Structure 1
Amino acid sequence: MPDSTEQTIVVNADAAAVMAVIADFERYPEWVSAAREVTVLDTDDDGRATTVRFVLDAGVLRDTYELRYSWSPDGRAVEWDLMKSDLQQAQHGRYELAQLARGSTKVSYALTVDVVVPMIAPLKRRAEKAITDIALHELKKRVEA
């Protein structure tokens, strides 16, 4: 898969609180603007989601897709890969959290998306940057609310 787009943001909360919001998929429609429906399909022995279906509506872009998640043992990172999609042929993403000080966490978000329709690289990178930027700001707003 090609190089990913990565952005970071500092959230005024501990890493555990940030990860709790990231991991609460079924509440995404409450705070992720494009999420219309999110359903956890499978979980691991610890109750963490391993397969999740998303129904997204971002205006001109609508997609239903499933992602497979893997969680780091220390609870500070989660990665995902596309299983199936209406519009994407590949997606890989990762959230990684770094506790900076008590009540402050650096959140890094890396994302690579390949869509079925051919897209020139600069336009694809711009779209990934917009997605990561919106996702980080919505996450920050939700965690700090």
Structure 2
Amino acid sequence: MADESTQSITIAAGPTAVLDVIANFPAYPEWADSITSAKVLTHDDEGRPEQVRFTLDAGPLKDTYVLAYDWVDDGVTWDLVSGQMQRGQRGRYRLEGSEKETTVTYTLSVDLAVPMPGLIKRRAEKRIMDTALTGLKRRVEG
């Protein structure tokens, strides 16, 4: 798997409110600029999204892919099921906080199926993470 990137942001809301926005995948195109569509394919036994198909347009990185989610005590993790441009993707949103404030730590590792210069790949990853965290903050706090 490729190198991991990690970024954090503090959101003025409790972890439950933050996780509710994270779990509402069909709304991602409204706040996650690089995501042009997101469709829940399956749900787990507790009714939470289990597999989701995304379409991504992050400049040089464009892909349609499916992620499998695992809802854990302090957030959610995911792994790539299938993708056109990716061989692997592993990510996590870890939430820590109180009912008034949550620190969200986003960890992402992407392994592309096609060669891409490291600098371009890192810029695309940074853009994806920046957009996801700032969009999440705006969505939860708005």
8 Å CA contact 2:85–2:113 kept in 1: the answer is yes
Q: TM-score, normalised by structure 2?
A: 0.92
- Asked whether 1:92 is paired with 2:86, we answer no
Report matched runs for 1:11-22 at 5 Å: 11-22=11-22
8 Å CA contact 2:29–2:35 kept in 1: the answer is yes
Matched letter for residue 29 of structure 1: P
- Take 1:18 and 1:32, find their aligned partners in 2: how far apart are those partners? 14
Q: TM-score, normalised by structure 1?
A: 0.90
Q: 1:125 to 1:34 in 2, by over 3 A?
A: closer
Report matched runs for 1:95-106 at 5 Å: 95-99=93-97, 101-106=98-103
- Take 1:122 and 1:33, find their aligned partners in 2: how far apart are those partners? 21
Q: Between Structure 1 and Structure 2, how many residues are aligned? A: 142
Shift of 1:60: 4.1
Alignment partner, residue 112 of structure 1: 109
Shift of 1:122: 4.4
Gaps of 5+ in 2: none
- Take 2:127 and 2:26, find their aligned partners in 1: how far apart are those partners? 23
- Take 2:7 and 2:108, find their aligned partners in 1: how far apart are those partners? 9
Shift of 1:61: 3.2
Report matched runs for 1:1-145 at 5 Å: 1-72=1-72, 74=73, 76-99=74-97, 101-145=98-142
8 Å CA contact 2:88–2:112 kept in 1: the answer is yes
Gaps of 5+ in 1: none
Q: Secondary structure at the match of 1:78?
A: strand
- Take 1:59 and 1:122, find their aligned partners in 2: how far apart are those partners? 13
8 Å CA contact 2:4–2:109 kept in 1: the answer is yes
Moved beyond 6 Å, runs of 4+: none
CA distances 1:90-138 after superposition (whole Å, capped 9, x unpaired): 1110000001x43100000000111111134444333322211111001
- Take 2:126 and 2:36, find their aligned partners in 1: how far apart are those partners? 21
